[in-house]
Structure 1
Amino acid sequence: MNTAQHSARVGLLFLLGLALIWVTHEALDSKSSLSKTGYPLVAGFQNLKSLKQGDDIRMAGVRIGSVETTQLAGHRVEAILRIDKKVTIPSDARATITSSGLLGTNYVSISLGTPSRAPLAPGGEIVTYESADLGTVMTQLSELGEKLEDTLGSIGSVFQGRGGEPSLFDRLNHLLSENSSKIDTVMSNLEDITNKVNQGQGTLGKLVNDPKVYDELLATLTQIKAAASQASGFVGDAQELVAHVKSGQGTLGTLLYDQKTSDDLKAITANFAQVSEKLAKGEGTLGKLIQDDSLYTDAQATLQKADRALGSMSDSGPISAVGAVANALF
């Protein structure tokens, strides 16, 4: 290697070192200036998930600040967020801890929120929610795998047998061997039944093969539907009749809902009760006719006298007959 190439490589490495130093200085300077000019917010979590000082704070993927510090606060942990003073965060925005990738560092992600809502004041607390991290997901998958392995082991022991016990297939084979004759009988009976149905024997066979039976069944169903329709019409008429009665229409409606008619009916009933009471006591002409036996006796005596007088008229003249009747009566 000649001296010129060596010098060029040394110069290139020197320039790369200067560039790296400048980038590091700019990054540190930007964070330092942000810590001086930004405003703080408090975010409380149950677990910081390896979040540390200097980690980014992003809104919709854009870096808007960094984590200033982390601290314990009773039964939770708090992260003090330093937000760029140019960025306002609505009061309904929410923060969570997420990861930039499978092997990336964690950062605080803040939702956009509603622009019309009032912004959070410096030193205020932002609403947070917990999100599942990679470690939690892997733990849950591990537990699920263990449960699945136990389940598959139990299923395998059932199929293969355990402790000298016969396997499931052995039991099924033994069951089929012992009941083969019964199974043959059942299959034979099923074959006979299907043959009879195909030949149109029995009720089911006629329903399947005889179109006349099908037509009669269809006609019966039609009649049932017609009867149901008539019953529905009857119910409708009954409802209409009840509605008319409730509205006071017709004789029955007038009797039930017309107050004047009801009062007149009550008055008639009361008068009839008074009349019947007087008749029972023998008051009045009709009451005396019903209760007094002397009127009946007098009437019977008068009729006997009239009968004797009519008997004597046949032997006397007209004048003497009138006199005889008058004498008999009076």
Structure 2
Amino acid sequence: MTARALRALACAAAVVLLPAGCGLPDLADLPLPGGAPKGDGYAVTAEFADVLDLVPQAAVKVDDVTVGSVERISLDGWTARVTLRLDAKVRLPANATAAVRQSSLLGEKYVAVAAPPTGAASDRLADGDVIPLPRTSRGTEVEEVLAALGLLLNGGGLAQLRTINRELSAALDGREPAVKDTLHQLDTFIGGLEKQKADLVRAIEALDRLTTRLNQQKQVLGDAVDSLAPGLTTLAGQRAQLTGALTALGELGQVGTRVVNRSRDNTVASLKALQPILEQLVRAGDDLPKSLDFMLSFPFPPNVTGAVVGDFVNLSITADLDAASILANLLAAAPPPASTTRPPTGSTPNRPPAAGGDRPTPRPGTGPGSGTNPLLPGLPILDCLPDPDDFPAIWTPPKDCLLPKGCVLLKPGSIIPIGGLILPKGLVPRGTVFPPGTELPAGTILSPQCVLPVTGAIDGVIGGLTDVLGGGLRP
């Protein structure tokens, strides 16, 4: 039987069966074009920057399942607005996404609606909602892929890959350890950046706050810059004068250098000439400031104000009423005037006693309560000064000298204690426990206890009758 006969037989059978009740299917049972939902459903508008060749009645799919169709496509400026009709049973989050996809390489376009990858909203997508442009996208067209491939193959540098590979191999040949070390260092560097990520983020945030603050004060900064304009204009006008001043300053430096070089010898000589004066000032010690203090109230001591009352001065005298001293002073012959100041030239005062002999008579005024009295050999004559030829480092006078406790004499060259007194010429001045004019080796140092306090009153003077008659008890 030929094909033509078979087709004729089939048509005859169909004609026979139609009156017998095999009618056409109900159109209500057929699916709507494009997968449109049965019933009303709900409409959602999606905004696209490019819908390609999407057409109305195209399918709308969720997880590759058709749940609706494209109802209308319109243009709003440069944005395409696609109205999607979805089945009422489809439940999607309010922040759902939409994308234009292609069913196959040469297939039709459809719209894929899906929940966002992360952070799905709790609300549901409802009728009239809009999927904005940031949540829509489109797939890549085959034409775009082929165009990119053609660009790569036609002058895109593919032919140079072999050259690049060969040159790179030649550059790295024999340097593998160095390259590996470089990669390790780069890994360490990136690891350090990773550990300091929080600090870097904090620094960037601080920089952001700074730029925000500067942006807020943009007007203030602008006013400050504008206010600099007059000053800059003045500086620009005086540029020649400033340049001349700097040039003159450089010349002044050269002149100063010449002056210093030429006067160097004279300056050194002047400093050397000052050395003796400075040495004498050092040796003077506290004498200079004490004398300056005394000069302000001459002829009275500096603290005489406590003793001056009106037009008179209060004085107190302590008399030594030792009977032996009084008797010796009354019966003693007055010494020669020359012996009251210093011994004859070449004589040695207060020599220590010779072996087996008596102590020599001390020079008048060489100690408290001392004197020359050959007529009364039974009265004690005290030796209260050291031997100048055998001066010890620290000489402590005997207790019989009746000197204050702690009053000692230090050998010349010793360290001067605080409050002590140095004798540059070896003569004891007024204001000590020793009679004025007493000779000692030059440079002898008296301890502070040997120096009488400077007051407005005389606390006590120890001496004989001859000292009183000769004025030795003057303050």
TM bucket, shorter chain: 0.3 to 0.5
Higher CA-based Rg: 2
